[in-house]
Structure 1
Amino acid sequence: MEFSYQHAQSQRILRQRNMLGVTALVLAGVVALLLLFSVTRSREIVLQPVLRSPLTLSSAGVSREYLELMTRDTAILTLDRSPGSLDYWMKSVLEIVSPRAQGKIKADLLEIVNEQRGSTISQYFQIQSMEIDTANLRSTVTGKLNTVVGQKVVSSDIRTFQFNWEYSGLSLKLIGFGMVQPEKKKGGLS
């Protein structure tokens, strides 16, 4: 009698062990499928309204609206500066720069800071138009660049600036920017 009781107990424990093993395999399969879906699925973050509508970011690519907003803010950030805010200006620009472009851009910014520190020269930019190229992650801004010495505007010229970007994950980072030189007209008087 005792033998049959022990045998029944052993069979019950064996069934429980087998059920636990099957359950563990099923759960492992579900976890593997969830990981596969999370890796291959486009991620999105919905940002609160910045201007006119909610903004959505996706790992599938940069939206035109997001690149336009980043370009607008970056153009103002990089082109509006005064001697009293140079350290903050440089720090703020470097925060949006891609790690792979940090060295070159920081060197360019330091050159500007060294030239402008201690002077009374300020500048501000008034955006007039913008071109957005989401395929090449490039944006171009045209506007009036005003230079002020003391309290007098000494120049007010129409200039075009180009911004180059990289998009990785859900992060848009600046990799380069500069003034676009106007093309010279061919033939005739210029």
Structure 2
Amino acid sequence: MDLSYSHAQNQRVLKQRNLLVVVAAALAGLAALLLTLGISRDREVVLQPVLQSPVTVSSAGVSRQYLEMITRDVVVLTLDRSPQNLEYWMNQVLAITSPRAQGKIKGDLLKIVNEQRGSSIAQFFTIQSMAIDPKNLRSEVTGELHTIVGNKVISNERRTFRYDWEYEGLSLRLVGFGMVRTGKELDQ
């Protein structure tokens, strides 16, 4: 009787083990399926509403609205400067710059910092129009560039500036910007 009881007990444990193996395999398959779906799906981050409607960022690409908002803010950052904020200005521009473009942009910014340091020349830009190309990650902004020496405005010139971007993961980074003249980009 002990032998038949022991055999029945072993069969019950064996059935439980086999059922556990089947459940574990099914869960592993489900986890692999969910992982595959999670990796292949576009990721989105919902940002706080800054405009009339909420803005989302997707791994599928940059929306026109998001690129326009970022361009608007970067135009103010890159084109409004005075001798009192040159270090901050340069560091903030470099903070939004792509690592692959930082060397060139830093060199260009250092030229401006060295030229403007100790002077009383300031500038600001008023946006009049913006052309956004989210497919090619390019923005062109036209407006008035105001130059001030001391407390006197010495020039107001209509200018167009081009901003080139890269989008990697969920991060939009600046790769270049400059003034557009006769179809050519001059470094800012």
Which band: TM-score by shorter chain? over 0.9
Pairwise CA RMSD: 1.3
Letter in 1 for 2:54: P
SS at match of 2:176: strand
Per the alignment, residue 177 of structure 1 pairs with 177
Return 5+ residue gaps in structure 1 as ranges.
Answer: 184-190
Off by >3 Å, runs of 4+ in structure 1? none
Per the alignment, residue 105 of structure 1 pairs with 105
SS at match of 1:20: helix
Letter in 1 for 2:173: K
Per the alignment, residue 55 of structure 2 pairs with 55
Per the alignment, residue 9 of structure 2 pairs with 9
Distance 1:173 1:143 in 2: 23
Distance 2:34 2:169 in 1: 19
Provide TM-score, normalisation by structure 1. 0.93
How far is the alpha carbon of 1:182 from its aligned partner? Answer: 3.0
SS at match of 1:131: strand
Distance 1:24 1:115 in 2: 68
Letter in 1 for 2:142: T
SS at match of 2:85: helix
SS at match of 1:81: coil
Matched ranges for 1:1-190 at <5 A = 1-182=1-182
Identity over aligned residues, as a percent? Answer: 66
Distance 1:177 1:13 in 2: 71
Per the alignment, residue 186 of structure 2 pairs with none
Distance 1:132 1:153 in 2: 30
Provide TM-score, normalisation by structure 2. 0.94
